[in-house]
A and B are shown apart, each in its own frame.
Chain A
């Protein structure tokens, strides 16, 4: 809203603007969300630190769910197709999104990737964000659910040092639990750190190399699995 009053030249004016700078990104994210919803596609944004196991988690989820759903995976990275090829080997469609230098995916890149697909033939979309616990939190993509993946090899303070990424996280995955002993990391403490920051976030402990706990991740996302 803008209020204006008349005055003489040279006079000073105060103008109320109240201009909320909803970013271009958030507007495109809303568009993406509507488009995905229209086609009944459930979308999961997988965020997490570098090397925590985001791709391994998606591989395991694809193995668990591909018989029941038509799945596509978007794979965000600065460069390389290494990860998208890993997922492609499981027989599903993938789109590699190379950000070049950006530290996060944004809604526009996701919109472009959606433009490459026949959305009428899909049920489930996994979007793997660039490995980073800071920037992706501030760039919604239009997904239904957001997962944050951390792992015990990153040490005991990953959650409390990056609280903001958990503000919108539906599920927090603590991965590599088979290494919790050697790393002397208490997974119950990591889980309670998440709950202390956001009680809405479900915490699931996994070993994505073997698939342990991955069915619980699907349940936490509200995705039915099995026949």
Chain B
């Protein structure tokens, strides 16, 4: 959902850094996107291609690392991946925000990222 506006922020961040570095070409961009965001990877790629057209980032390689959801439990100290409730009958994979160890609510520590990690440029 809303991939176009998020991707335009990615492209903006990339181009502004590239300009600061006096780049002539952006070759590669590495971003991290959390599983708990509403960003569909395919749509992000599609928007990236359109938004970088006619810029120095045209045809650059977009590497997307997906970050799995993680949570921290204040009750038992668990700090790790979220668990999922699977129901094969309905093809449903439902994330749970409860601690897989003690069942208490977790606070989400990873999975909501949208980060531009690294860019590769030519000067």
Contact = CB atoms under 8 A, between A and B. Distances in A.
Interface residues of B, number: 37
A198 B96 contact: yes
Interface stretch (A8-16, A56-64, A82-90): A8-16
Contact of A10 (B1, B117, B123): B123
Contacts of B37: 138
Contacts of A160: 85, 87, 90, 92, 94
A178 to B, nearest CB: 27
B62 interface: no
Interface stretch (A17-25, A47-55, A205-213): A17-25
Interface string A140-153: 00000000000000
Contacts of B87: 160
The bracket for how many chain A residues form the interface is 20 to 34
Nearest to A132: B1
B114 A134 contact: no
A196 B103 CA distance: 9
7 contacts: A14-B118, A17-B13, A18-B115, A135-B38, A160-B94, A161-B92, A163-B96
Q: What 4 pairs across the A-B complex have the smallest Cβ distances?
A: A200-B105, A19-B116, A198-B97, A199-B98
Interface of B: 1-2, 6, 9-10, 13, 17, 21, 23, 27, 36-38, 85, 87, 90, 92, 94-98, 103-105, 108, 113-123
